Structure 1
């Protein structure tokens, strides 16, 4: 992305922010007492999860569409299964233009229905492809055939400028630059826009960037000196699990020290989501919890400082809640799965049950193989109240002569058995 002179980008961001006010008010910047007390810092949450589409994506979509509408364009298209689709739909309805939104065939009905609700009669939804690459190719081919303008989710100058309006609001609301801003990174639109604006208006402000461990595209690009495509991505953090950071967004981030880019484990993110839901009543999607999730790894850096965490989205499908709870328990060490070799003799099961502690709860019990002559393999899931309880349980199993294998961290077996 070519460098504009400082005043032009800052002025453009401020104009973009002002133009959004008829559409929606500035999202709140809220001091969070729970997190502030926990970390001995002044922790403020920039609540992008409270935008009209429950994510910051409405900003980039609005800004890009408004500029093309001013040029006479009335036909748009995008490829997205999530927040970008909803932002585009909302903006198309607002401007009274036509949008075609391409989504993978595998997109959950809940996301399709929400996108339809935001776009109403202004958008058509086309389900194309089992994988996002196929969906993206279909959207771009449609734009070429129909003369529609393709709306990139992040790698677009106008989208980056639109996302930078989050930073405009932060400075206006806080009245003084924060010491540190923590930003989630997927394709890089939000982080590129906010960093660029704040580096010009509040150069003393420091940054930390957060990616999901299963999609560290910015880290990979910084190591390689340019964007590269990750061979594999864990899609659990679907709002930020991007295989390749944008070319334009990387140009705005290329001088970032690599140790300022943090990786958040997916299971720990689940723990953060549950904490924010149960303690604060704040619903965050996995990508929306990234900035909050890394606070525990920055304890010594943030103590006594003013820190802004951007909670980037709250489009969480509660049908995923059982999975989130499961992963959070496993990360905390409070739930484990193991395969037990149970002797095929009367009383063996009773002997095993007698080894369980008072807080050890059987959450799963399933015979995997019943044809063994002397032993049977049993899949067992145990929940307990403290992770040290498993050390005690496994010691008792060893002493009792019950062979077992802990498969909690075995991704391949877990995929098939759990």
Structure 2
């Protein structure tokens, strides 16, 4: 066993004082759906509902071992890393100051305070994470605190590698494939480093949200690069720049082993796992399961582990998740109809709707000409093919309309 693998195992043993190993569960629904042996590594069932406390605990423990007098730890995070640091500060009896953007949902702020108790202080600074990070680092320099990075740190990577160690220990046999999400790369780098240390023959697939593909960009450039724009919907994995330490481990990854999942597509997986399995996943936690669709032919007959990395889902987001999932599946569309201003025109349109078509939105916008008016219409249906029929009837009747479902700017403005 290499030094890295030995350190990972020692870290896992130390973690048992805080929490037991997270469950490894075979999922019958996914196994039948993909004709494979699908298992879930349930990091969403850790004490803070994500794997992040592993890296936080390992890094903090090592800093304390190096300097027992170190009492102040600092981090910048709007989510799972903050909760992990808070939990560990509480258990290791250290003071933590956690910087979070002003725009952080109150639910996440409250949970962080619950995990940290009297040991932590939450400071809300800036509208964006970069402002928050800058303030945290300035505070560290001024107060002599120890900054805990969320992913780009060797000790954090080592801590996150305990996920992979537990997978191999808990599985009845060595899996053919492990699928896990990528944000800053701590979890992924830990998995790659641990498997390399054991020379284990396990195929790794990494999954990024399409709107935050920092590993893909780094592999193309052969070095970490900063994305110009990041879609923050998959907030647990939407990172503008992969870490330097993590990329040094992942730099030889084959591009075809990195998969992208659309934000709307992730919503379908969140709903599927909630409605069928009763499993609550945050968007990042659903990434590894979503790409089973893309790997269907490759994984048939294989033993596959999907890391469900987190379950910190705010149910206030559920209407948005359902909306995005319906649009992704083609079950809901929005269009602007140029409706003739004559008696019976609306009745003619309504008569074209089928028995499974339901009007979810109907809003008169304004008259675009004397004899016509513009109407925003949202239609839900049970089969995507119903829209082919409806649009065909509308065209035959001479109705002029514009499907805006995939126009991100318009949909964000009017929906």
Taking structure 2 as the reference length, the TM-score comes to 0.98
> Corresponding residue for 2:151?
154
1:30 to 25, 33, 42: 25
SS in 1 for 2:211: coil
Query: Which residue of the partner structure matches residue 292 of structure 2?
Result: 295
Structure 1 window deviating more from structure 2 (310-319 vs 61-70): it is 61-70
CA distance in 1, matches of 2:63, 2:284: 29
**Match in the other structure for 1:232:** 229
1:185 equivalent to 2:175? Answer no
CA positional deviation for 1:176 = 3.2
Q: Which residue of 2 aligns with 1:282?
A: 279
Q: How far off its partner does 1:370 sit?
A: 3.8
- 1:66 matched residue in structure 2: 61
Give the superposition deviation at 1:348.
Answer: 1.3
Q: Distance in 2 between matches of 1:368 and 1:7?
A: 67
What is the aligned partner in structure 1 of residue 2 from structure 2? Answer: 7
Q: Write the mapping of 1:201-350 to structure 2, written as runs, cut at 5 A.
A: 201-350=198-347
What is the match of residue 353 of structure 1?
Answer: 350
Residue 198 (structure 1) aligns with: 195
User: Are 1:105 and 2:113 an aligned pair?
Assistant: no
Q: Give the Cα separation in 1 of the matches to 2:120 and 2:46.
A: 20
1:376 aligns with 2:373: yes
Q: Distance in 2 between matches of 1:312 and 1:376?
A: 49
Q: How far 1:177 sits from its partner (Å)?
A: 2.0
Question: Is the Cα contact below 8 Å between 1:212 and 1:266 reproduced in 2?
Answer: yes
Distance 1:189 1:376, change over 3 A: same
Once the 2 structures are TM-superposed, how far is the Cα of residue 286 of structure 1 from its aligned partner? 0.2
How far residue 371 of structure 1 moved from its aligned partner, in angstroms, is 6.5
Q: Does structure 2 conserve the Cα–Cα contact (< 8 Å) formed by 1:177 and 1:202?
A: no
User: Deviation at 1:42?
Assistant: 0.6
- C-alpha separation in 2, matches of 1:272 and 1:175: 26
Q: Deviations over 1:129-151 (max 9, x none)?
A: 00111001000010000000111
Q: Counterparts of 1:241 and 1:333 in 2: how far apart (Å)?
A: 25
CA contact (8 A) 2:339 2:375 kept: yes
Query: Aligned partners of 2:374, 2:132: CA distance in 1, in Å?
Result: 43
Deviation at residue 202 of structure 1 after TM alignment: 4.5
Secondary structure (helix, strand or coil) at the match of 2:81 reads: helix
User: 1:344 Cα shift?
Assistant: 1.1
CA distance in 2, matches of 1:123, 1:136: 17
Q: Which residue of 1 aligns with 2:38?
A: 43
Given that 1:30 and 1:45 are in contact with CA atoms closer than 8 Å, whether structure 2 keeps it comes out as yes
Distance in 2, Cα, partners of 1:195 & 1:27: 20
Matched position secondary structure for 2:343: coil
User: Is the 1:335–1:382 Cα contact (8 Å) retained in structure 2?
Assistant: yes
CA distance in 1, matches of 2:258, 2:93: 40
Structure 2 spans left out of the alignment, 5+ residues: none
Whole-angstrom distance in 2 between the partners of 1:403 and 1:173: 60
- Please say which of residues 211-220 and 62-71 is displaced more in the overlay: 62-71
The reply on whether 1:56 has 2:65 as its aligned counterpart is no
TM-score (norm 1): 0.98
CA–CA distance in 2 between the matches of 1:311 and 1:412? 31
Q: Which runs of 4+ in 1 moved over 6 A?
A: none
8 Å CA contact retained: 1:79, 1:85: yes
Q: What is the CA RMSD across the aligned residues, in angstroms?
A: 0.9
333-342 or 196-205, which moves further after superposition? 196-205
Give how far 1:223 is off. 0.5
Q: Give the Cα separation in 1 of the matches to 2:176 and 2:317.
A: 35
Aligned-pair CA distance for 1:175 = 4.5
